Amino acid sequence: MNRIDKTFARLKAEGRTGLVGYLCAGDPDMQGSERSIRAAIDNGVDVLELGMPFSDPTADGPTIQEASQRALASGATVTSVLELVKRIRSTDDDTPIILFGYANPLFKYGYARICKDAAEAGIDGFLVVDLPYEESAELTSHMKPEGLHFVPLIAPTTGMKRATKVLEHAAGFVYYIMVTGVTGARTDLASDLKEQMAALHAVTDLPIAAGFGVSSGEQAAATGAEADAVVVGSALVKSACQNRIAEFTQELRTALDA
């Protein structure tokens, strides 16, 4: 069984809300990135979204864009990201790791090759921001034989007819984007989250993780009251830059478990 499935099954059995944490691989360099990842996992992150640095992101706000630029400046490549995953896997064979990013680096590396190499490194799935469902088969056809999950993104603007079609072929969990726009911490969260979660649960049995904007324990708890998991990205990246990722992850975990 894929680690993503195992983790969400365990969380459900325990009656707990999952914490999905995003960090950019190679930020500020591979050694620093590895320390941040281990700190996040050791202090409560259930699923790691590992960002693949890319020069031209379209969905990321300033915080994650800057993290990606720092990683690229330090020499991060697809190969070095996979080597980073192997090092994490040398001491952690349980935490799900999702490769999060854009289609261009994966396409350039080769879809068949990246699926094989990612699975061998210990990746559990992909979340590709700019690869629409209609064009995803070229990648997913190589993912399935390797046991990799393709995690879909659903937005507030996604109609239920389209959401149903997309989710028929999804695996692992659903990433629900609570707000329109780019990533980044926000002071206010979506007011329609409860209704959106109910609508999605009516068309899929997959766990639903909600994100985009969560930046505190209080916001994580409010989001987690409606979703199966909470995604924290920009705020977690900021905490790593401030050398307080352990403390911030603990704050999120404590709030979700309260």
DSSP one-letter string for the chain: --HHHHHHHHHHHHT--EEEEEEETTSS-HHHHHHHHHHHHHTT-SEEEEE---SS-SS--HHHHHHHHHHHHTT--HHHHHHHHHHHHTT-SSS-EEEEE-HHHHHHH-HHHHHHHHHHHT--EEEETT--GGG-HHHHHHHGGGT-EE--EE-TT--HHHHHHHHTT--S-EEEE-SSS-----SS--TTHHHHHHHHHTT--S-EEEESS--SHHHHHHHHTTSSEEEE-HHHHHHHHTT-HHHHHHHHHHHHH-
Residues of the domain holding 168:
18-257
| Predicted confidence (pLDDT) per residue in 44-102, tens digit | 999 999 999 999 888 788 999 999 999 999 999 999 999 999 999 999 999 999 999 99
**8, part of any domain:** no
User: Does residue 11 lie within any of the structural domains?
Assistant: no
Q: What percent of the chain has pLDDT over 70?
A: 96
Between 176 and 189, the more confident residue is 176
The pLDDT score that the predictor gives to residue 174 is 97
Domain assignment of residue 218, yes or no: yes
Burial 32-71 (b: 16+ CB within 10 A, else e): bbbebbbbbbebbbbbbbbbbbbeebeebbebbbbbbbbb
- Is the pLDDT at 182 greater than 90? The verdict is no
What's the pLDDT at 203?
93
Beta bridge partners of 22: 49
Q: How confident is the model at residue 153 (pLDDT cuts 50, 70, 90)?
A: very high
Residue 165 lies inside a defined structural domain of this protein: yes
- Token pair listed for 153: 């993104």
What does the pLDDT read at residue 186? 46
Q: Which pLDDT belongs to residue 168?
A: 87
Mean pLDDT of the 192-221 span: 93
Q: Is residue 117 part of a domain?
A: yes
Other beta carbons less than 10 A from residue 24's beta carbon: 33
Please give the pLDDT value at position 180. Answer: 61
Average pLDDT, the chain: 94
Does residue 9 sit within a domain?
no
Q: Residue 245 has what pLDDT?
A: 98
Q: Evaluate whether residue 13 is within a structural domain.
A: no
Q: Is residue 155 part of a domain?
A: yes
Handedness of CA 71, 74, 78, 82 (dihedral sign): negative
Per the listing, tokens 């990612």 go with: 118
pLDDT digits (tens, 9 = 90+) for 212-248: 889 999 999 999 999 999 999 999 999 999 999 999 9
Question: Minimum mean pLDDT among 78-82, 175-179, 188-192, 228-232: which range?
Answer: 188-192
Determine the Cα–Cα distance for residues 93 and 85; give it in Å rounded to an integer.
11
Q: Give the residue numbers annotated as catalytic, written as ranges.
A: 49, 60
CATH number, domain at 246? Answer: 3.20.20.70
Give the dihedral sign, CA 189/62/68/88: negative
Q: What is the pLDDT of residue 58?
A: 82
pLDDT at residue 181 is higher than 60: no
pLDDT confidence of residue 169: 83
Q: Which residue has the tokens 């700190």?
A: 39
Residue 189 has pLDDT above 70, yes or no: no
On whether the CB atoms of residues 192 and 157 are closer than 8 A, the answer is no
What does the pLDDT average to over 181-191? 55
Q: What is the mean pLDDT of residues 124-130?
A: 96
Residue 244 class from Cβ within 10 Å (0-12 exposed, 13-18 middle, 19+ buried)? middle
pLDDT at 184 over 50: no
Q: What is the mean pLDDT of residues 32-41?
A: 98
Q: What is the pLDDT of residue 185?
A: 47
> What mean pLDDT is predicted for residues 108-126?
98
Question: How many domains, the chain?
Answer: 1
